[in-house]
Amino acid sequence: MAVGAVNPVRALSDATPHPYWLDDPSRPEALPALVGDEHCDLLVVGGGYSGLWTALLAKERDPGRDVVLIEAERTGWAASGRNGGFCAASLTHGWANGHARWPAELRTLEELGHRNLDDIEATLARHGIDCDFERTGEIDVATAPHQVQELREAAGRAAALGVTGHTFLDRDAVRAEADSPTFLAGLWNRTGVAMLHPAKLAWGLRRACLGLGVRIYEHTPGTELSSRRASLAVRTPYGRVFARHAALGTNAFPSLVKRLRPYIAPVYDYALMTEPLTEEQLASVGWRRRQGLSDSANHFHYFRLTADNRVLWGGYDIVYRYGGGVRAEYDHHPATYQRLAEHFFRCFPQLEGVRFSHAWGGAIDTCSRFSAFFGTAHGGRVAYALGFTGLGVGATRFGADVMLDLLSGVRTERTELEMVRSRPLPFPPEPVRSVGIGITQWAMTRADRDGRRNLWLRAMDRLGLGFDS
């Protein structure tokens, strides 16, 4: 079948403009908003993974701690309910990024990351959270000749650094795992990534928090943070929360600690979901071991199978809007949907006739080092974790532990990490920010074509700056 014969617009014509994961009958009813004043030991701001893990771990560490969580919309509504469902062990947006920034700590960071993923799996079992968890790993695939050697070299560097579980796959081997005429090679991370239903994870964490006594208020944005003596106060539209400590899990949204805002550039990522594949369609692709897949380009695609054998296909475009706003109208980008559909059928021409059921987007909290940073404010009474840059499904649990460590004032293995003690460089103000991001996007597209990082990208590398999703 010639790729040109596939009509991607027709395949999109019935797609619901809503995140597939949130379009689920098991979605719990909304909880009431806060009206009046509340008092607690720990206030958690944000009802995504970062906030939910913080609230849950706080109660597991100290069941007597009085914890309140407020969420501006509904639990799991933002990035936690609209991502690709890849739960990675990596805390550093891949071991290569970790090695470039913290080479002396890489072994420790890898060990902590795998321990964190093990702990997530154990938590799901302990609290009976059914979120379609499958620890099938992930394959990075080469779709351009220069990427084949890059993956081969990456496998060698991983082995030399003691990073285990990575296997290089040649063309025949990778196509035996998932068959696409565009796949030239692969690097299989066998145990460091799990697939899951991201919204069900958020809803399961919410249920576990409520079961442990966390008081959760939805449709309750925190609008202002202030401190006085031994007390913090967060104002909401209809009341206030007074707390001894606070943990901020607002990520892509403007932080209540205003000095942190320059460190985050919200970018928008988009995804499509197909209808369920038939047995014949699935057999034409193979994919028997159900690994997550992503290609190796700077503008990359990520794709995986759901529990009912749909294909989620996302990524490629990284859309930044001038000023870095986060708005509902940015959640959809028809031009990107069409581009993604075209790329899908180029990757899997044997799936001609498959239609897309859902199309959606959402904001990612990108920072210049591609991985989270941490710290405190208001005399150590407020902790934050920000900048997960698209790899927060797993790393937010680690970030929650870091925030609780920092609030306790006790030195731990986590708080002693250079990764935790350091910060990325902030993004420059507008209009320099938009110009710089635009140049970087152009340079990344060019590098995808010829495999060479130009002078601009090499300068960014030397400064420790980057732009990714």
Note the pLDDT of residue 469. Answer: 53
pLDDT digits (tens, 9 = 90+) for 282-295: 999 999 999 999 99
What is the value of pTM for the model shown? 0.94
Going by pLDDT thresholds of 50, 70 and 90, the confidence category of residue 459 is confident
User: Rounded to whole angstroms, how far apart are CA atoms 364 and 326?
Assistant: 10
Q: At what angle do helices 455-463 and 432-450 cross, to 10 degrees?
A: 120
Note the pLDDT of residue 233. Answer: 97
Going by pLDDT thresholds of 50, 70 and 90, the confidence category of residue 96 is confident
What is the amino acid identity at position 66? D
pLDDT at 461 over 80: no
Note the pLDDT of residue 447. Answer: 77
DSSP for 141-197, written as a single string: EE-SHHHHHHHHHHHHHHHHTT--SEEEE-HHHHHHHB--TT--EEEEESSSEEE--
Note the pLDDT of residue 201. Answer: 98
Note the pLDDT of residue 2. Answer: 41
pLDDT at 398 over 60: yes
pLDDT at 136 over 60: yes
3-class DSSP state of 100 = helix
pLDDT (mean) for 432-449:
81
Residue 128 phi/psi, 5° resolution?
60, 40
Note the pLDDT of residue 5. Answer: 58
Segment holding 71, helix H or strand E = none
Tokens linked to 405: 């460590």
Note the pLDDT of residue 468. Answer: 57
Residue 131 phi/psi, 5° resolution?
-135, 30
317: alpha, beta or left? (left if phi > 0; alpha if psi -120 to 50):
beta
Going by pLDDT thresholds of 50, 70 and 90, the confidence category of residue 109 is very high
Q: How many CA atoms, within 13 angstroms, populate the side-chain half-sphere of residue 351? A: 30
pLDDT at 111 over 90: yes
pLDDT digits (tens, 9 = 90+) for 303-326: 999 999 999 999 988 899 988 889
Note the pLDDT of residue 87. Answer: 98
Among 54-58, 103-107, 172-176, whose mean pLDDT is lowest?
103-107
Note the pLDDT of residue 165. Answer: 87
Among 54-63, 99-108, 339-348, 445-454, whose mean pLDDT is lowest?
445-454
Note the pLDDT of residue 222. Answer: 97
pLDDT at 3 over 60: no
Using DSSP, how many helices (H) and how many strands (E) does the chain show?
Answer: 13, 18
pLDDT at 33 over 90: yes
Note the pLDDT of residue 367. Answer: 93
Query: What percentage of the chain reaches a pLDDT higher than 90?
Result: 81
Only one residue has tokens 């708080």, namely: 415
Pick from 306, 317, 303: nearest CA to 23: 306
What does each C-alpha distance from 174 to 139, 145, 148, 365, 404 come to in angstroms? 8, 14, 12, 32, 42
pLDDT at 400 over 70: yes
pLDDT at 34 over 60: yes
pLDDT digits (tens, 9 = 90+) for 217-276: 999 999 999 998 888 999 999 999 999 999 999 999 999 999 999 999 999 999 999 999
pLDDT (mean) for 76-82:
96
User: Rounded to whole angstroms, how far apart are CA atoms 364 and 264?
Assistant: 9
Of 205 and 5, more confident: 205
Contact 232, 246 (CB under 8 A): yes
Query: What percentage of the chain reaches a pLDDT higher than 70?
Result: 97
Tokens linked to 187: 């690097």
User: Rounded to whole angstroms, how far apart are CA atoms 41 and 267?
Assistant: 34
Going by pLDDT thresholds of 50, 70 and 90, the confidence category of residue 144 is very high
pLDDT (mean) for 167-181:
97
Residues 6+ away with beta carbon under 8 Å from 63: 212, 213
User: What's the mean per-residue pLDDT of the chain?
Assistant: 93
